A = this chain, B = another copy of it.
Amino acid sequence: MTDHVVLSLDEARALGLDILRAAGLSEPHAQAIADVVIAGQRDECHSHGLYRLPGVVHSIRAGKVDPQAVPDVVDHAPGVVRVDAHFGFSPLAFALGRPKLVEKARRQGIAALAINNCFHFSALWPEVEAIAAEGVVALALTPSHSWVAPAGGTKPVFGTNPIAFAWPRPDGTPFVFDFATSVIARGDIELHRRAGKPLQEGWAIDGEGTPTTDAEAALAGAMLTFGGHKGSALAAMIELLAGPLIGDMTSAESMAFDDGARAAPCHGELILALDPAVFLGVDAPRHIDRAEKMFGAIVEQGARLPSQRRYEARRRSLAGGVSIPKPLHDELVALRPT
């Protein structure tokens, strides 16, 4: 059993901020990144927690990311707000674009936020959850790097292309999901490689297109989409909507742009926001209650809502802090200025 270090959320955040500032990030970027990394750690999404910080630092040192970039928010069309991130990290670009997106959704009923020229390493659920906290339904999509083969194919085309969704609930904890359209997240393949553990069947193929359970071979070959041709179709949709539609790179172009630097992927992101208050008017409570009945029908038969485990982890972390493996803590402390 690996030794663990327990930190309060404040201590974890202070450690993260020290590292981010030392890496040369502007204060707004450091704060925005600390927010999402600590949220990931708090909810025990370990692959999107403090574990991400060495990668953030590497992406800056590789000379790809501008740590001081000031995102531009542009009112592009009645239903569209754009943020040009100017090759900085995504959390600040999203945080600056969100108010305008929500404002547009409240006026139009539906609106889109397109983020361009942006480096991504964080989960999407903190973003859709933040929109749902304002009572607005949210859907977020991004490509990544071309690591995933299309159904029936042998070579990578798609990214892990996550899709995240949030539905505000009267009790305050929204219905949220966030999943990769690959069978498994790229980060999980990396974790298997680090741990020397075999992959499950059906996760990946090697460089020749043959199924493999070897993490190294999978990283050199291609991952597969979840759900066969249906997951593959969704992955294609995400490429199109969060790439060409918003004038940004596909996963294959993003991978070529990286040019072997192994930095965080640079690409676009599309976030849709739909305001139930506009769709429903004074009848909103009655219809929101229909959704609550559906959640009840799921939970009452012993099935889990997608966000349930994360909210349980959040309660634990808020009470007792977060626990991180000692080797990761050592790695983080080494990145902190002395």
Q: Which residues of A contact B (CB under 8 A)?
A: 76-80, 107-112, 114, 137, 139, 149-155, 157, 165, 167, 175, 177, 179, 181, 226-233, 236-237, 239-241, 243-250, 252-253, 272, 274, 276, 278-280, 283, 287-288, 290-291, 293-294, 297-298, 301-304, 306
* In-complex Cβ contact of A290 among B165, B253, B297 (8 A): B253
Name the residue on B nearest A304 (C-beta): B152
Distance A1 CA – B147 CA, assembled complex (angstroms): 45
The secondary structure that dominates the A interface is: mixed
Alpha-carbon gap, A231 to B80, bound state (A): 29
CB-based contact B245/A297 at 8 Å: no
Q: Given A175-B240, A241-B137, A252-B294: A78 and B80 within 8 A (CB)?
A: no
CA distance A293 to B252 in the complex (A): 10
C-alpha spacing A245/B248, complex, angstroms: 30
Chain B residues contacting A151 (CB-CB under 8 Å) are 303-304
In the assembled complex, which residues on chain B have CB atoms less than 8 Å from the CB atom of A114?
A: 279
Kindly report which residue of chain B lies nearest to residue A178, judged by CB atoms.
B233
Separation of A253 and B286 alpha carbons in the complex (Å) = 13
The answer to whether A274 touches B112, judged by C-beta atoms less than 8 angstroms apart, is yes
Closest CB in chain B relative to A251 CB, distance in Å: 8
A121, B247: Cα distance in complex, Å: 36
> CB within 8 A of A278: which of B80, B276, B303?
B80
Chain B residue nearest to A225 (CB atoms) is B227
9 A-B pairs with the lowest CB-CB distances in the bound complex, closest first:
A227-B227, A153-B303, A79-B108, A80-B109, A77-B109, A177-B233, A152-B303, A244-B291, A79-B109
Contact of A245 among B149, B150, B181, B274 (CB under 8 A): B274
List B contacts of A149 (CB < 8 A): 301, 303
